[in-house]
Structure 1
Amino acid sequence: MNPLRITPAIWQLPFPVGHVHIVRLPDGYALIDTGMPGSAPAVLDALEQLGGRPQDVRQIVLTHSHVDHMGSAADLVEATGARVLAGALDAPVIRGTAAEPEPVHTASERALHEQISAGFSDGDMPPVRHVAVDIELRDGDTLTGWSEPVRVLHVPGHTPGSIALHFTAGNVLFPGDIIATAEGRAILGPFNVAREQAIDSFRRLAALEVETVCVPHGEPLLADASAVLRAATPENDWV
Structure 2
Amino acid sequence: MKVLNGIHLIRVEYANIYLVERENEFILIDAGLPGAGDVVKRYMSDLGVAPESVSTIIITHAHTDHVGGLAELLELTVADIAAHEGEADAVLRVASMMSGKPIDASVKHKLKDGDVFKGFRIIHTPGHTPGTICLLDLNSGALFTDDLLYEEGGELKEIPEKYSDNPAMNRDSIQKLSALEFRHIMPSHGNPILDGGKEALLRLVEDLQR
Letter aligned with residue 142 of structure 1: V
TM-score (norm 2): 0.90
Say if 2:86 is the partner of 1:89. yes
Q: Does the 8 A contact of 1:74 with 1:129 survive in 2? A: no
Question: Is the contact between residue 178 and residue 201 of structure 2 (CA under 8 Å) also seen in structure 1?
Answer: yes
Q: 1:168 maps to what in 2?
A: 138
Q: Could you tell me the TM-score, scaled by structure 1's length?
A: 0.79
Once structures 1 and 2 are overlaid, which stretch shifts more, 177-186 or 60-69?
177-186
1:214 paired residue among 173, 186, 210 = 186
2:114 is equivalent to residue 140 of structure 1? yes
CA RMSD of aligned residues (A): 2.1
Once the two structures are TM-superposed, the CA of residue 80 in structure 1 deviates from its matched residue by 1.2
The amino acid of 1:64's aligned partner reads: H
Which residue number in structure 2 is paired with residue 231 of structure 1?
203
Give identity over the alignment, percent.
Answer: 29
The correspondence of residues 112-191 of structure 1 with structure 2, limited to 5 A, is: 127=100, 130=103, 132-144=106-118, 149-190=119-160, 191=163
Which residue of 2 is the match for residue 13 of structure 1?
10
1:71 aligns with 2:68: yes
Long gaps (5+) in structure 2:
none
Bigger relative contact order, structure 1 or 2, given CA contacts below 8 A and separation 6+? 1
Instruction: Give CA-to-partner distance per residue, 1:61-96, whole Å, 9 cap, x none.
Output: 000000111111111112211000011111111122
CA–CA distance in structure 2, aligned partners of residues 176 and 132 of structure 1: 22
CA distance, structure 2, for counterparts of residue 32 and residue 168 of structure 1: 15
1:207 Cα deviation from its structure 2 partner? 2.3
In structure 2, how many angstroms separate the alpha carbons of the residues matched to 1:7 and 1:179?
21
TM-superposed CA distance for 1:135, in Å, is: 1.1
1:37 corresponds to: 34
The structural deviation recorded for 1:50 is 1.3
**Secondary structure at the counterpart of residue 60 of structure 1:** strand
In the TM superposition, what whole-angstrom CA distance separates every residue of 1:118-144 from its partner, at most 9, and x where no partner exists? xxxxxxx96586553111110011113
Secondary structure (helix, strand or coil) at the match of 1:134 reads strand
**Following superposition, which runs of at least 4 residues in structure 1 exceed 6 angstroms of deviation?**
none
- Mapped partners of 1:128, 1:10: distance in 2: 32
| CA-CA distance at 1:23 after TM superposition | 0.6
User: Any conservation in 2 of the 1:186–1:229 contact (CA below 8 Å)?
Assistant: yes
Hey, which of these two has a bigger chunk of strand by percent?
2
Determine the C-alpha separation between the residues in 2 that align with 1:57 and 1:201.
29
Cα pair 2:129 2:164 within 8 Å, conserved: yes
CA contact (8 A) 1:173 1:212 kept: yes
Quote how far apart the aligned CAs of 1:26 are: 1.2
Please say if residues 179 and 188 of structure 1, whose CA atoms lie closer than 8 Å, have aligned partners that are also in contact: yes
Give the CA deviation at 1:224: 1.6
- Rounded to whole Å, the distance in 2 between the matches of 1:37 and 1:222 is 29
Deviations 1:145-180 (A, max 9, x none): xxxx31001000000000010013421100111121
CA drift at 1:42: 0.7
- Mapped to 1, the partners of 2:38 and 2:18 lie a distance apart of 14
Measure the CA separation in 2 of the matches of 1:186 and 1:79: 33
- Structure 2 letter corresponding to 1:79: L
Contact map agreement 2:13 2:33 (CA 8 A) in 1: no
Inter-partner Cα distance in structure 2 for 1:128 and 1:158: 26
Shift of 1:32: 0.4
Q: Is the CA contact 2:31–2:66 (under 8 Å) kept in the aligned structure 1?
A: yes
**Do 1:17 and 1:217's aligned partners in 2 also have CA atoms closer than 8 Å?**
yes
User: SS where residue 147 of structure 2 aligns?
Assistant: helix
